[in-house]
Amino acid sequence: MKRLTALLAIVVIAGLVASCAPPTPEKVVETVVVTKVVEKPVEVTKIVEKPVEVVVTPTPVPKPAVYKAAGGWTKPPAYHGSKFAPGGVGCAHWYVFEPLFYYVPASGDVIMALAESFEEGKDAFTVKLRKDVKWHDGKPFTSKDVWSTFQLRYLQNAGIWKFLDKVETPDDYTVIFRWKEPTALAKPLIAGEVISAPYHLYGKWADKVDLTVPPDEEPNKSVMEDLSNFKPEFPIGTGPFKMTKVTASEMILDKFADHYKAKNVHFDKVVVLPWPNNEVVWAYLMAGEVYRAHPATPKDTTEAIMARQPGMKLALPSDLAQFGIGFNMRVKPFSDENFRKAIAHAINRKKLREITYYYAGDVDKYAHNVLTSMEERWLSKELLDSLTVYDYDPAKAEAMLKDLGFTKGADGNWLDPDGNPLQWEVNCPAGYSDWVLACDELAAQLTEFGIPTECRPIENAIYWPGATAGKYNVMLLWSSCWWGYAHPWRGFYRIFFGDTGKRIGCPPKLTGPDGTEVDLDELVTKMGATFDEAELKKLVETAAWICNEHMLELPYCEKKLMEFHNTAYVQGWPDVNDPLWSLAAGGAERPDAVMMVQGLLKPAAK
């Protein structure tokens, strides 16, 4: 009640006040803008700096371009880098060493290497050297290195010294070869010698060589003996690759960055796998583990390799050589040439070829040491008609042996005139699978003829020195070797007093076609010296008659190189008929080195 009374009182007072108010004044309208700040939350993006880990992926280092091959070498610790001691260098030869120039046998062309130019004269051959060449140890290459190489090659009876009188070096980049006998073979002779004895390493021996006395006489004999004890770890050459590692399982050569044509070489490394026998190399080729190799290969295996590797190509240049059977003429009964002739008729050479080397050419009539493929060029029909033909004729062989006093025992096997049984061992290099096949077949043929024979392959590194030392009586050897020359001088030099001559024990003089004794050294020297084609052919025919009628060696096939090369891994190979392939004759790795330095070979694009 009191609350209500109070409200009424307020109302009455408000009315009284209103009745007493003065008159209403004039109304003024004024607009006032009032800014009212209203606070409310606002989202603000705040940038806060903090360390950020940046991951940078480096540009991948290109894998080295590797060229893969197969070859042979003496296994460490016996391996060393000298060409002047047994067991040195091996298949690295053409990768690490270079000649002054290369001679292409199939075309006669010259490809410059350490030489910049040359001038050929009848009495002298002058070479101007490149001035940008270094040895693998960094030392500069000069004419003194050429001189020291040829000095030491005199100690090894190098064939060029049959014509060479001396080597002169009028300045650091000029070399003059002075001939004692002018020769039409100057270019192949010089090209056949790699410059392998840098003076700063071999000079102390080169300085002691006396060119006025034979190599096997003092002081040269002692110089050679001392030199043969120098065995550096690796070869030091000027070639496009230098050796960096050698084990029993591989040889590694790295590109030589300071080579004068290093820009042309598109491979950073050469890896060489061991070549113990052809079967292993066939497996390499099938698997693409080597890019080029030249194993003698049967037809079915060849087809299998080509099918497994579609990029594989096959060149078949002549190896400028034949396979042959050698007899040790130092010992009886092989010292009797009529005995050797009789045995020749007991051997089926055509069957040997068929079993050994499908792609080779037959050599089943003569033993004249001229390549069958070049017989028509060098030997007249009149001469060939006069030669003894050694065809397969066991009955004739039997009759000839009986004329010599040989008889057959109760077991059907042959006895010599003193009643001793003939029982032989045929030796061959174990690493040449095709030769092992021939060895087995030859042993079987001789056994069937009545001479019990076994084939005994011997490790290559032991076989060749043993053959040269005259340790084997019946052996498989190279025959008609015209390597690097495509010229008969090369083959007759080898069979008379080169490696083959040493292995069979060839005497220095033999009866010629006119019945007079012929000095074989003089005959071959004239063959290399004459510029007269008619005279040359006459000399060749005389040498061919001597080889055939004295039965120095019995060839059984002419080898063709089976140059497998894989385009899936390497591009730039020349056509299979290109003359460059002929560089492989007598130097399997030589065309590789030449093609690389010329810039032809490159890793195939993936």
Domain boundaries, the chain: 98-227, 241-314+564-603, 319-559
The residues near 290 (Cβ < 8 Å, ≥ 6 apart) are 68, 69, 70, 273, 281, 284
For 338, the 3-state DSSP assignment is helix
Dihedral sign for Cα 326, 331, 333, 335, please: positive
pLDDT of residue 37: 44
226-241 pLDDT per residue, tens:
999 999 999 999 999 9
pLDDT of residue 61: 59
pLDDT of residue 606: 73
For 462, the 3-state DSSP assignment is helix
CA-CA distance, 351 to 342, in Å (whole number)?
Answer: 18
Dihedral sign for Cα 125, 130, 131, 133, please: negative
Q: Take residue 77 and report the two structure tokens written for it.
A: 């610790």
**Do 350 and 378 meet the contact criterion of CB atoms below 8 Å apart?**
no
Tokens 């993936």 -> residue: 606
Per-residue H/E/C for 167-196: EEEEECCEEEEEECCCCCCHHHHHHCCECC
CA-CA distance, 299 to 468, in Å (whole number)?
Answer: 33
Strand partners, 254: 242, 269
40-96 pLDDT per residue, tens:
555 545 555 555 565 555 656 568 899 999 999 999 999 999 999 988 999 999 999
**Do 97 and 194 meet the contact criterion of CB atoms below 8 Å apart?**
yes
By DSSP bridging, strand 66-71 and strand 269-274 are parallel
pTM higher than the cut 0.85: no
CA-CA distance, 91 to 76, in Å (whole number)?
Answer: 14
Cis previous bond, 77, omega within 30: yes
CA-CA distance, 267 to 64, in Å (whole number)?
Answer: 7
Full DSSP string of 279-307: HHHHHHHHHTS-SEE-----HHHHHHHHH
Dihedral sign for Cα 145, 147, 150, 152, please: negative
- Measured in whole angstroms, the distance separating CA 362 from the mean position of its chain's CA atoms is 26
Which parts of 484-532 fold into alpha helices (H)? 488-497, 499-504, 520-529
CA-angle at 248, arms to 245 and 254, nearest 5°: 20
CATH code reported for the domain at 98-227: 3.90.76.10
Q: Take residue 85 and report the two structure tokens written for it.
A: 């001691």
CA nearest to 158, candidates 477, 498, 481: 498
DSSP character at residue 264: G
CATH code reported for the domain at 241-314+564-603: 3.40.190.10
Q: Going by CATH, does the domain composed of 319-559 fall within 3.40.50.620?
A: no
Indicate the angle between helix axes 394-403 and 337-345, nearest 10 degrees: 160
> Which phi and psi (to 5°) does residue 560 adopt?
-110, 135
Weakly modelled stretches of the chain, pLDDT under 70: 1-62
Strands (DSSP E) contained in 378-433 are 407-408, 414-415, 424-429
Q: Take residue 282 and report the two structure tokens written for it.
A: 């066939």
